[in-house]
Every structure is written in structure tokens, then in C-alpha cells.
């Protein structure tokens, strides 16, 4: 590669393959080759399970990820000592126009057919706890089992645990009040460029972040700034509450909100909850 770049720099060749279209084509060729190897391995082992999840991308298009699992019997001359490996492979993103169980099932079947993976060989399916995925009447898992009764459904354990922890936290008034205040601090600073400027002037490293509604473990990202920079965030709120440049009804509201948030952050109960 170094020699290739040298020839381009010294104008010894005009064929450099560095254009964006050529690079994208090379990446696609490599992706297709890898995908072909994965599908061939799945064919050789026959039975496989599928894992699917959906999320919108930055262009607000719903993307479904397709992952397959299968048991790989490591080929060996000594069959008694053959190594058994569980392989997990990502096969790609599939854009979805609808999020209904019916449409998603049809999309899955089309993708499997395209890759010559037979639905009769599916021995397991794993999805999140969305009604369109796990619904007992019209969910994807139900429709797949109508086609192949051996495609047993197992809900995502991590997603289930996430729901349990979320619900447990919401059941407690103290936890609900604590996380509500954390979110209000982010909303206050992010809702105004002037407020955000006051924050960045006082906080040296971490800035406040919103709470995630789908990943409980990511709450730590919202708590770290408060844990590490609580005093500086408090000073930023006091600075805004005392700033006389904010005038009118909106200014009075900013003063009031900043003072209320500062009082909330300085309470012993909040600091204790933050440490816990």
C-alpha cells in the first residue's frame, strides 16, 4: 500500500482506486465475499437461529438488523476431539417501510430466501419485547412458528432485564423524583444557548446528558457529569439565577427555574441518591 501511494504521489500511475465510488465498490465486494462465506458455513451446519432488532437511523429510516446463530463443528481428523463452536454472524441491515408483524415476517422470509437459507431449518428466534415482535397473535415469533413450529422463541434476556429495572425504578417515588431532576437539569441547559454557555464556562470536562428511555445502563452517562461536576453545575445555575441580563417574563422564568434546580441539586437526599 505504501508503494502504491508513492506511485500515485510521484505520478507514476493514473490508476489509483482512491475515488469514493471505487472505494465504496471495493467495500461492497469485500462485504459480499464475507457474507457468502457466512452463508456457506450456515448451509454446511444446516440448522440455525435468527436474532432481529430494529432501530431508526439518522435519516429516520427504520433499519432491521439480521444476525444468525449456528453450531459449528470444527472439522478435524480426530472426530472424537472435534471442537464445538457457537458462531454468531451479522448479515446486514434491512430497511423497513412498516413495523407490523406481518410485514416484518414477510421481509424476514424474503431475506432468508435471497440467501438460500430455508425457514424450515430455523430452530430458534430471538427478539425484543415489542408487541410486533413477540405478540402471541400477530407478532413475528407467532407467524414464524406457524410456518415452522420448531422455531422456538426466546425473548432477549438483556431487554427483559432492562424493562424490569426500569419498572422497579419507576415504582419508587424517591427514584422517580431523582431521575426527574436529572432530566430537568439537562432540559434547562440544552433549551437555551445562553444557559449552555454558562454551563460550559463553569464545567471543565463533562457536560450534562439526557436520560435514555431504552437503555437503563446508559443512565450512568447522564449521572457522571453530575457526580463529577456537581459543584460547578450548581455554580452555573446560581450564575443564571443571579444574571440581570435575563429580563421579561422569560428571564424571570429562567431565574426561577435555575434557582429551583440549584436548590434541588444541593439537597442531601439528591447528593446521597447520586452517590448510590
Rounded CA gap, 94 and 91, in Å? 10
Whether the CB-CB separation of 183 and 208 falls below 8 Å is answered with no
Work out whether strand 48-56 and strand 62-73 pair parallel, antiparallel, or are unpaired. Answer: antiparallel
Indicate whether 175 pLDDT > 70. yes
Query: Could you give all domains of the chain from N- to C-terminal order, each with its CATH number?
Result: 2-155 (3.30.420.40), 172-275 (no CATH)
Q: Three-class SS of residue 59?
A: coil
**Grid coordinates 419508587 are at which residue?**
172
Q: Three-class SS of residue 70?
A: strand
**pTM as predicted:** 0.62
Model confidence band, residue 80 (pLDDT cutoffs 50, 70, 90): low
Model confidence band, residue 246 (pLDDT cutoffs 50, 70, 90): low
36-63, pLDDT tens digit by residue? 999 998 988 889 999 988 888 778 888 8
Alpha carbon of residue 162 to chain centroid: 13
Amino acid at each position: 500500500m505504501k508503494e502504491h501511494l508513492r506511485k500515485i504521489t510521484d505520478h507514476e500511475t493514473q490508476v489509483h482506486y482512491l475515488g469514493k465510488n471505487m472505494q465504496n465498490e471495493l467495500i461492497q465486494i469485500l462485504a459480499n465475499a464475507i457474507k457468502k462465506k457466512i452463508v456457506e458455513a450456515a448451509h454446511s451446519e444446516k440448522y440455525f437461529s435468527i436474532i432481529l432488532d430494529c432501530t431508526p437511523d439518522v435519516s429516520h429510516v427504520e433499519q432491521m438488523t439480521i444476525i444468525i446463530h449456528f453450531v459449528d463443528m470444527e472439522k478435524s481428523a480426530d472426530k472424537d476431539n472435534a471442537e464445538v463452536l457457537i458462531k454468531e454472524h451479522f448479515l446486514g441491515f434491512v430497511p423497513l417501510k412498516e413495523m407490523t408483524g406481518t410485514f416484518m415476517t414477510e421481509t424476514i422470509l424474503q431475506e432468508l430466501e435471497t440467501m438460500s437459507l430455508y425457514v424450515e431449518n430455523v430452530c430458534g428466534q430471538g427478539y425484543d419485547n415489542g408487541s410486533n415482535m413477540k405478540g402471541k397473535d400477530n407478532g413475528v415469533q407467532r407467524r414464524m412458528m406457524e410456518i415452522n413450529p420448531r422455531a422456538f422463541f426466546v425473548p432477549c434476556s438483556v431487554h427483559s432485564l432492562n424493562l424490569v429495572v426500569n419498572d422497579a425504578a419507576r415504582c419508587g417515588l424517591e427514584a422517580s423524583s431523582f431521575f426527574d431532576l436529572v432530566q430537568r437539569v439537562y432540559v434547562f441547559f440544552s433549551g437555551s444557548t445562553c444557559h449552555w454557555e454558562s454551563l460550559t464556562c463553569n464545567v471543565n470536562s463533562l457536560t450534562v446528558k439526557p436520560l435514555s428511555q431504552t437503555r437503563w445502563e446508559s443512565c450512568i452517562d447522564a449521572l457522571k457529569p453530575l457526580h463529577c461536576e456537581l459543584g460547578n453545575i450548581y455554580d452555573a445555575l446560581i450564575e443564571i439565577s443571579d444574571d440581570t441580563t435575563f429580563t421579561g417574563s422569560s428571564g424571570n422564568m429562567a431565574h426561577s427555574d435555575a434557582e429551583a434546580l440549584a436548590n434541588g441539586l444541593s439537597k442531601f437526599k439528591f447528593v446521597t441518591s447520586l452517590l448510590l
